Amino acid sequence: MFELTADHEDFRRTVRDFAEAEIAPHVGEWDREYHFPADLIPKMGELGLFGLVVPEEFGGHAGDGGEFTYLCLAIEELGRVDQSMGITLEAGVGLGINPILTYGTQEQKERWLPDLAAGRALAGFGLTEPDCGSDASGTKTKAELRDGEWVVNGSKAFITNSGTPITSVVTATARTGTRENGKPEISAIMIPSGTPGFVVEKAYDKLGWNISDTHGLTFDDVRVPEDHLLGERGKGYGQFLATLDDGRIAIAALAVGCIARMLEESAEYAKTRMAFGRPIGANQGVSFQVADMAVMLETARLLTYRAAWLKDEMDAGRRSLSEVKQAASIAKLYTSEAAVTSTRMATQIFGGNGFMEEYPVARFYRDSKILEIGEGTSEVQRMLIARAFGL
């Protein structure tokens, strides 16, 4: 059975100290100004956060296994201070690095991974489209092979880390043909930043995750060499589905960070906020909500780190993919919904102050909702969980 080791906890403290020192003092200002702190990414790289799953030969720190659990711990601790920086790491590794690491050629890995692992660059993951969300097989973006080049036309929506000053490449799914059964052949194409015709649209005006970099993308006769195909032609859809399995566990870790912060903030406020001559935490209406948050946090952590452990065990050949997929969906579903609930409860405990942006609960309230949507909605997770029972 899994358990976090002393090394895990030492690593957690290291990331927490970093987040408290480098992010916490600035997060309010960054959030108000929609500022993406690009200069912070190399510092995270120096700490080893982007290289956790990358082998040493490509500039990373992966060693004897268990790397995914360490990644989840880092995401949780960053997310405890700011959800935007948590998703920046999650997307940078889970959606940017992992597809290249898992499906790339030796040459592709040598070209892209060292800078990504060091935090000198970021990569994006282009799956969602304006008319294609949960139904990822409905991709409309097309890539046609002409004279040794892929010519890509189409658009993507809600792509994280796609327009930063250090974004180096976006891997995008595209139709590259039609199968014998009439269904589209979907492949993954790597498109370097700055390629002619590759347009990064204006940043979104979002409800939350204001510090995170998120853009729509347009491909207008974008030409890249034939060797920019990532993985096998026609396997892009399956590749990205597998990537999302890992991403769901990582999103669960981000949600754990949210719940943990709401519990901390609520418990402290309940002890110091006075009403009717005593702390509001003396009232069961408040104290029971804090207790419920504590239960949600422990449950969320257990589900998340069990799923992360199963992922590491699968990579070592000791667990099956089906076990990981089920655990990932369960963890993502529970933790994301618990995170939204915890922010609502915390805002209620804070009363009018909870509605004020000067208090962090307001920011976490805004940030939490997307956890129920990204990497597969709650409805999709319920569908996937039910399928395991033949339903």
Equal CATH topology for 125-234 and 237-387: no
Which one, of 166, 162, 64, 55, lies nearest residue 109 by Cα?
55
With 60 as the cut, is the pLDDT of residue 194 above it? Answer: yes
What is the predicted pLDDT for the residue at 64?
66
Alpha-carbon span 363 to 296, nearest angstrom: 20
pLDDT band at 136 (very low <50, low <70, confident <90, very high): low
pLDDT band at 137 (very low <50, low <70, confident <90, very high): confident
Residue 379 appears among annotated catalytic residues: no
Q: Where are the beta strands (DSSP E) in the chain?
A: 122-126, 142-146, 149-160, 167-178, 184-192, 198-203, 214-225, 229-230, 274-275, 278-279
pLDDT per position as a tens digit, 24-66? 999 999 999 999 999 999 999 999 999 999 999 999 988 767 7
Structure tokens at 119: 């935090």
* Superfamily of segment(s) 6-122: Acyl-CoA dehydrogenase/oxidase, N-terminal domain (1.10.540.10)
What is the predicted pLDDT for the residue at 352?
97
DSSP state, residue 132: B
With 80 as the cut, is the pLDDT of residue 134 above it? Answer: no
Region 215-223: mean pLDDT is 98
What is the predicted pLDDT for the residue at 1?
57
What is the predicted pLDDT for the residue at 341?
98
What is the predicted pLDDT for the residue at 243?
87
pLDDT per position as a tens digit, 308-347? 999 999 999 999 999 999 999 999 999 999 999 999 999 9
Higher local confidence (pLDDT), 240 or 332: 332
Question: 261 vs 79, 99, 308, 351, CA distance in Å?
Answer: 9, 31, 21, 17
To the question of domain 237-387 being in CATH 3.40.50.1820, the answer is no
In CATH, the number for domain 125-234 is 2.40.110.10
What is the predicted pLDDT for the residue at 240?
84
With 90 as the cut, is the pLDDT of residue 237 above it? Answer: no
What is the predicted pLDDT for the residue at 342?
98
With 60 as the cut, is the pLDDT of residue 350 above it? Answer: yes
- Please tell me which residue in 22, 67, 90, 375 is annotated as part of the active site: 375
Q: What is the mean pLDDT of the chain?
A: 95
DSSP state, residue 139: -
Sketch the domain layout of the chain as residue ranges.
Answer: 6-122, 125-234, 237-387
Higher local confidence (pLDDT), 289 or 139: 289
With 80 as the cut, is the pLDDT of residue 133 above it? Answer: no
